[in-house]
Structure 1
Amino acid sequence: MPPLPHPPGVDALRAAGIQPDEYLELPADTMIWRVHRTSGTHVLPWNALRTYGPILRFDPHPRPRKDHPRHGVWYGASDVPGALAEMFQATHVIDRTAGTPYLTGLQFTRPLCLLDVAGFGDGRWPTRVGGNFALGTAAHGIAQHWARTIRAAHPDLDGLAYRGRFSGGLCLALFTPAASAFPPTPALSLPLDHPGLASRLAGAARRVGYILT
C-alpha cells in the first residue's frame, strides 16, 4: 500500500462531503468494550473523553500537545480481544494488576454516526478524498493530522470507525459530539484480575497471541 499522504485542506474535505455508504451507523444496542486504568497518573472515568493530546492514532486535538477542552477523544472496540489488543499493544502482555485495569462494556443511548475509514461498508471515503486505507497503520502524526482535519470539516460527526491494527476488528475513536450518547452506568465493569474474567481473558489472549499475567 502506498504511504498515506497528508489530508487535503479543511475546505476541500468539507466540499468532498460524506456519502451515505461512507458512514457506519452503530446501533444503540451494540456492546462496546474498553480496557482502562483506574489508578496512577492521568486516570479518567470510563465514560470521560480525553481532552489532553494529541497522543494516540486518531486524536483530533490541535497542536501543541496540551489540554484542549473543546476536543475530546474516547477509544473502544467491538469485542473484548480487540479492547485488550489495543490497550496492551506496546508490550503484547496483558498485565492484570499494573494501574488496576478494568474491563468495561457499555451500550450507547443513541445510534452513533461514524465515518468509516476502514472499508467495513461499501463506501471508500479515504480513497475518494485523496488518501488511502493506511489510515489504520500509518504513523500517529499523520493519522492525527487526518483526524484534526476531519473534525474541523465535519464538527457534528460522532467519530471514526477504524480497523484495529492488532485485532483487525471494529474499533471506535469517538469525538466530542459523542459525549451525549454515553449511558449513566456501564453494562459491566470489572477489574481484570476478577476471578470471573479469568477464562474470558485467557481465551482473548490466545486469540491475539498476547501473554496474560
Structure 2
Amino acid sequence: MSESLPAPDPGRFPELSGDPTWVRAVPAGALLARIYRSGGAHPTEWHAFRTYGPLDGRFDPHPEPVGEHDGVGVMYAVLEGPVGAEDSLDGPFAAALLEVFQEQRMIRRSAGAPVLAAFEAARPLRLLDLADSDWIAVAGGNAAIASGERARSRAWARAIAARYPELDGVVSASSLVPSARVVALWAPAASALPEHPLALIPLDRPELTALIDRVATRYAYTLL
C-alpha cells in the first residue's frame, strides 16, 4: 500500500536554524537544465516564472483558485547530478525529458516547439531540502511529497512558501528517476537567474537526436 501524505500542519514546521541540513545551499555557478515550450497555445521563455496557477505542477506555490497571481511564480528545473550521466548535460537533461513528457510517455520533439535551456545559478540558492534531509519527517510529512498525489504536495508547497518566505524554493527527488534532484524555483529565485543561458537548443535539432533516442530507449518512452 502506497504511503499517503498528510495535510500540512505549519505549526509543526521547525525553525530552519535548527538543523543546517534542512536548507540546501546550491552554489553560484551550479548547472540547471529545464525544457520549456517556446510555441503553441502558451509560449514562454527560458527565464520566465509561471505566475498562472496552481496547475498540475507538484510544487506550485500559487494560492487557490486558479488564476494569475502577481508576485507568485514557479520554474521547474533539474540540478546537475549523476543519473548515469555520460557528460555534463546528459544526467539533468534525461531527467528533464522524463519529467516534461511523463503524462503520455511520448517525447514530442516539435509540438509546442520545446527547447532545452541550460544555465548557471548567478548567485547561491537556498532551497528547502525535501530529498536528502529529514525536514519532511520532522514537519509531519513523508516521502510521498515527491511521488504521491500532486494536489496534496501543492498544499505543502503553499504552506512552505508562507512559512519560509526567505527561501528560493525546494529541491526534491524526481518521482521518475529518484537519483535526480528536481528544483521548484519560486519568485525570490528570479534574482538568481543569469542574464544569458549557457545554451538554448530546440529539441528537434540534430545534435540532440542521439541523446534523446538514448533516453527514450532506456526508459521506454515513445519518440515522435
Deviation at 1:12, TM superposition (A): 4.3
Task: Report the AA paired with residue 157 of structure 2.
Answer: A
Q: Is this contact kept in 2: 1:81–1:208, CA < 8 A?
A: no
Q: Identity rate of aligned residues, in percent? A: 38
Q: Does 1:131 align with 2:132?
A: no
Task: Report the AA paired with residue 82 of structure 1.
Answer: A
Deviation at 1:76, TM superposition (A): 0.4
Structure 1 distance, partners of 2:136, 2:157, is: 12
Partner of 1:157: 167
Deviation at 1:208, TM superposition (A): 2.7
Deviation at 1:161, TM superposition (A): 0.4
Structure 2 distance, partners of 1:198, 1:80, is: 13
Q: Does 1:204 align with 2:215?
A: yes
Residues 34-59 of structure 1: per-residue CA shift (max 9 Å, x gap): 11111112222111110000111100
Partner of 1:17: 15
Q: Is this contact kept in 2: 1:75–1:171, CA < 8 A?
A: yes
Task: List gaps (5 residues or longer) in structure 2.
Answer: 80-91
Please state whether the residue corresponding to 1:76 is helix, strand or coil: strand
Deviation at 1:2, TM superposition (A): 3.1
Structure 1 distance, partners of 2:145, 2:43, is: 27
Task: Report the AA paired with residue 121 of structure 2.
Answer: F
Structure 1 distance, partners of 2:217, 2:126, is: 32
Q: Is this contact kept in 2: 1:80–1:204, CA < 8 A?
A: no
Q: Does 1:60 align with 2:61?
A: yes
Task: List gaps (5 residues or longer) in structure 1.
Answer: none
Q: Does 1:170 align with 2:171?
A: no
Give the one of 150, 154, 158 matched to 1:140: 150
Deviation above 4 Å: which 4+ runs of structure 1? Answer: none
Structure 2 distance, partners of 1:26, 1:204, is: 26
Task: Report the AA paired with residue 32 of structure 2.
Answer: I
Give the one of 103, 125, 136 matched to 1:90: 103
Moved more, 34-43 or 62-71: 34-43
Partner of 1:5: 6
Partner of 2:85: none
Partner of 2:206: 195
Please state whether the residue corresponding to 2:21 is helix, strand or coil: helix
Count residues in correspondence: 207
Please state whether the residue corresponding to 2:76 is helix, strand or coil: strand
Distance 1:66 1:94, change over 3 A: same
